Structure 1
Amino acid sequence: MKYRVFSLVVTLGLAATAPLALAQSPALQSSMEAASKVDISKFFTSRTDARSQSFGFGGTHEHAFTVEKSGRYVFTSATMPGQSNDYYIQASLLDTQGNVIATGEAQGERGGLHLVETLEPGDYVLRVKANKFGSESTGGNSYTVQVAGLSASGERLSSDESGIEGGSGIMFDASDDDGTTTAFVNNEDAVATIAAPKPAVTAADEAVADAAPQAEEGAPRAFDEIVADIKIRQSGEVLSFDVAEAGTVSITSSTMIGNPGDYRLEARVLDASGNVVASDAGEGFEGDFAIETVLQPGRYTIWVDGQKFGPARSGTNNYTLRVQQLDTLE
């Protein structure tokens, strides 16, 4: 895999690796054999492109893209044909520095989001949060956001004419009051570094820090957490990251609250030599994994195998992968 070099250093990879056998209990094996008969992973399309992306209702989601041509762009939302459009959506458009440059909100029954903004070439993120009204078990549980260029007369341009590309792969946010930084990864070749926890800072510590030499210019930027949105059906290497300081690292998967347990994920952490250093798997239909393991400085890759069960339009199709460092070794 070729890694694209940035001033920040987490890697996404889609290359498959050879499956590694893990021990399973007879009960779990029986459950998985039955579940595999209704595996609908093959019916889902691959990750959506830079012009559109689907999300589950509830929670905040990010859609990263790159504008290559100056002009006016429209951002819209919709549900699948035949599904309920009784939802409320809020959206914020961020530039590559994380500044909010436009906001919008709308009711699905009134046409959904329709946000128009003039943009210059660069990387952007559309941050959205949508809540569905009514029962979660009927009417669909997802929506799609789209971005398209507009002509001088206000008509939508075709995909080729819009000037939209996938972006550099990493957008970051530091919106929390405590200054926590999050790297949102949305590219196969992007790489970022996980930051060690920050100790409590006193006035004396600040004085010492002011007098200390500054970090070398060009050193990789480190993030408090690394987040990626991954298709459940995707199998293989899904994310790589760099550890700068030895310590305990947490690697978890999750979906929005209220989704039924209709999927199962199996995860392994590989070191730079391809050795498995940690692993975990969901049990039965309760599909999330949670790994905590001590890692030494270096690059690591997360390998995941996912299965999706049940009716094709039920539940969620994506999960959130999150990496955090919990402590450092003295």
Structure 2
Amino acid sequence: MNRSNFVISLSLALMLGLGGVSHSLAMATPELSHNGVSNLRLVPTSYVDRYTLNVDSPTNIKITSASWGSIGVNMIIKARLLDHDDNVVSSARQHGGDFVITETLEPGRYVLEVEGQELSDRVQTNNRYSVRTITF
């Protein structure tokens, strides 16, 4: 097998979840900054996007989504914030299909889980979102 065929085969195996590598392990977990906006991503409907957030001192933070597409009409974005023991620290409130979390966090490592929920039978493939964090 030549190198290009091997790369194609390996890529296909990873996409299909073969070879002992799960989808969640194959994808990197982006880290959120304390004041910033993440890259634009497709709204996950059959999996969960995860982001890490590291907090060094007690911090008041607001985490929101900004979406493009038919969010709020055919789909909503849900999120929850977990601590290092996978306990739910906060579940997001809905605002026009997007999510909002406002929380005071103690020092530690947190994980933000984001997923989309279809509101109609129409499958949406063009919905995108980003995550914005603001400390105050």
**Residue 294 (structure 1) shift:** 0.2
Q: What SS does structure 1 have at the residue aligned with 2:62?
A: strand
CA 1:277–1:232: 2 relative to 1, 3 Å: same
Alignment of 1:51-66 (within 5 A): none
SS state of the match for residue 40, structure 2? strand
Equivalent-residue separation in structure 2 for 1:277 and 1:245 (angstroms): 16
SS in structure 1 of the partner of residue 73 of structure 2: coil
- Name stretches of at least 5 consecutive residues in structure 1 with no aligned partner: 1-159, 161-186, 195-223
1:228 is matched with 39
State, as a whole percentage, how many aligned pairs show the same letter: 25
Partner of 1:318: 128
Instruction: Name the larger-Rg structure.
Output: 1
CA contact 1:247–1:296 (8 Å) conserved in 2: yes
Residues 84 and 110, structure 2, Cα contact 8 Å, conserved in 1:
yes
Instruction: Compute the TM-score of the two structures, normalised by the length of structure 2.
Output: 0.63
Higher RCO (Cα < 8 Å, 6 or more apart): 2
Gap regions ≥5 residues in structure 2: 1-6, 8-26
Structure 2 residue aligned with 1:291: 101
* Alpha-carbon distance in structure 1 between the residues aligned to 2:69 and 2:112: 24
Q: Distance in 2 between matches of 1:274 and 1:247?
A: 19
Change (3 A) 1:257 1:248: farther
Distance 2:32 2:70 in 1: 31
Secondary structure of the corresponding residue to residue 282 of structure 1:
strand
Alignment of 1:273 onto 2:85? yes
Counterpart of 1:278, as a letter, is S
Change (3 A) 1:228 1:298: farther
TM-score by length of 1: 0.29
Q: How many residues align?
A: 109
Residue number in structure 2 paired with 1:144: none
Take 2:117 and 2:101, find their aligned partners in 1: how far apart are those partners?
Answer: 19
User: What residue identity is the alignment partner of 1:317?
Assistant: N
Q: Which residue of 1 aligns with 2:74?
A: 262
State the one-letter code of the partner of 1:296. Answer: E
The residue matched to 2:85 in structure 1 has which SS? coil
